[in-house]
Each structure stands twice: as C-alpha cells, then as structure tokens.
Amino acid sequence: MTVCFPTDVQLASHYVKQAIPLMIKHGIAPNPCNFTLWFVYVTNRDQELKKALDQIIQEKKEFSGEDCRNLFKKYVMKEEIDLQAGLQDSLTSVLHELKGSLEKTKIGANNFQHSMEESLECISGNLSSASIQNIIKLLIQTTQSIKSVTNDFQGQLINAENEVTKLRKLLHEEERRTYIDPLTQIGNRRAFDKHLTELFQNKKRNVSLVLIDLDHFKKLNDTYGHLIGDKVLQGIGQILQTTCPDNALVARYGGEEFVMLMEDSQEAACRIAESIRASLHKLTLKKKSTGEIVSNITASFGIAQKVDGEYPDQLIERADNALYTAKTNGRDRICQSACKTYQNSG
C-alpha cells in the first residue's frame, strides 16, 4: 500500500500513543519497519493488515522479527517496490539507449572535425582541379555521415520521449488503481483515508462524514446471487457520483459500506443523504436468467460533523454509532451524531 503519514503534530502523536504501547505489550522491537507496521495498524488504513495482525493477537502467538518483516513487505511496501523496480528498469533502458546514441554522435562529430582540418591543410597548398574535386567529395561524404548519425540520434530522442510518455501514463494509471475501487469505479478505502487525513491536517472546520450501509445485502446476495449483488454495488456507486457535489469524496469503504466526505455542514450532508436514499428506492434490476425484478433496495445512513479537538478515528466512530442507531431503529433511515467536545492531551 501507499503510506500517507499525517504531518499534523497532534494527529501523528495520537497514533503514536496508540502504536507504542501495543508494541511494548506484544514485545515488538522498536525499529522503523515495525513502528511503521503498527502505526498503519492503529490508523485502520489497511483492513487486510489489521485482520492479519488481529488474527495473530487472538491466537496469542508471539511476534517474531521475521513475522513483522514479512507483514511489512506484504502490506506496506510490496506495491511500491514492484512499481519502482519496473520504472527503474524502464528508465535504465532509455538512458542506456541515449548514452549509445550520444557516443555515436560524438564519434561522428570528431570525424567531421578531422576531415575539415585535413581539407584546410590541402587548401593551403597549390591545388589542382582533381584535388579540389576530391576534397569536395570528402566533405560531402563526411557531411552525409554526420547527418546520418544526427538523424539516428534524433530518432532515439523521439523514442525516448515516447518511452517517457508511456512511463508517465503508467504512473498515472498506477495511482488511479491505488485509489479507485475496481467494481464501482469510485474511490476506495485508501482514497478516503488519504483525503480524511488531508482535511484534518489542513484544519478544515466544516467537515461532514456520511457512512452508508446497504440494508440486508447478505440476504440479497443469497437470494439473487453475487452478480446481482455486484450490480447493486455499481448502482449505488453511480448514484453517489451523480448526487454528491463535486468537492465531496465518495468511496467504497468496504463490502456493502460506502462513505461520503464533504466540506460542508451536517445539515447539508443530511440533505444529500436524503437524495441518495430516495434514488436508491428507484433503483431496479432484472435478473436475466429468471426475469426476476430486484427492487426495494434501501440503505441506512450515519452522519457526523467534525468538531474541534477531534481526531479522524473519533469522527468515524461517531458516524459509525449513528449508523448503528439507524440500523437498530428500523433501517432505511438517516441518523445524525450529536456533537461532542474533545480536549486534546497534546
């Protein structure tokens, strides 16, 4: 995964104060790799990493140095290492070709200079017509040679430019894959974590979070199949894209849970959530194999607005509690979190 570390001192300190006691509790050596691993764990950025560490904790296994190294490579560094290795190979190839072309151009230029010097020496003496013709022929041949080498070098530059363009496109696509959910084509959990961290680091005041959970999604999957389930997920992804304002981030939080993160008031977030809820009511799908119509799709919403002194995980917790209230009170409804006051300990 791509690690996005908070630069805000209070936010970073909040996570450090969670990570270090856990490392001490489980006897983890305090080296940079282990600290990064547990720092990411307490931020809840990577659910697969959290699941792997939680499993070891629940099984009451001891964490060996090798276990930590393997987890670090698998969940923290693998994608970046693979990408950087591929880019390094490609850039090395481009530079190697350019180096060869430069050497050829240099040799051609030296030969041209040598021919010019010889011709000047000949011209300084008494020349016959035949000698002048020979000098002209030599200059023409040398000029054609340097022109050929220069053309080759120009071709290499064009190829290098094309290769660099491909690499730039590769980087763009890799970044897109990093932050886009492949099924719904909206942001993924990683995109949400990154944007939320940035909003807190920039000390944005009006930040509202909406957690959205599809109601009875497991039953829908069991009844109609996972293909229809995927279509429903894609449908809500499209609704989020068309309903939410341009400055809001929408993402698939995990499974059948989605998020909307916007720089606006809780009241504004509620209005948009109601539009999403109404649009879901209109969503209908048809199962081709049986002709069955799938409708009555609903979702529950939990909304919270950032308050002073609050950390990202506390905002998420309040929105999650509001979502739980919506679920327990009958589903297909929107619940807001009551504002709380936090006092940071530094």
Predicted TM-score of the model (pTM): 0.61
User: What pLDDT is attached to residue 345?
Assistant: 42
Confidence at residue 56, expressed as pLDDT on a 0 to 100 scale:
85
Burial class from Cβ neighbours inside 10 Å (0-12, 13-18, 19+) for residue 264 reads: middle
DSSP 75-114: IIIHHHHHHHHHHHHHHHHHHHHHHHHHHHHHHHHHHHHH
pLDDT, mean over the chain = 80
What residues in the chain have per-residue pLDDT under 70? 1-9, 77-133, 135-136, 138-140, 142-158, 160-161, 164, 167-168, 171, 339-346
* Active site residues per annotation: 256
SS (H, E, C) 211-245: EEEECCHHHHHHHHCHHHHHHHHHHHHHHHHHHCC
The encoded tokens of residue 228 equal: 């229809």
Instruction: Quote the pLDDT of residue 265.
Output: 93
- The token pair at 208 is 């509202």
Both tokens of 78, joined, read 């693998």
pLDDT of residue 346: 38
Judged by DSSP in three states, 188 sits in: coil
| DSSP SS3 for 283 | coil
How far apart, in whole angstroms, are the C-alpha atoms of residue 296 and residue 317? 29
How does pLDDT run across 39-65, given as a tens digit for each residue? Answer: 888 887 777 888 888 888 888 777 777
What integer pLDDT is reported at residue 149 of this predicted model? 63
Nearest to 190 by CA among 340, 23, 43, 34: 43
pLDDT at 105: 62
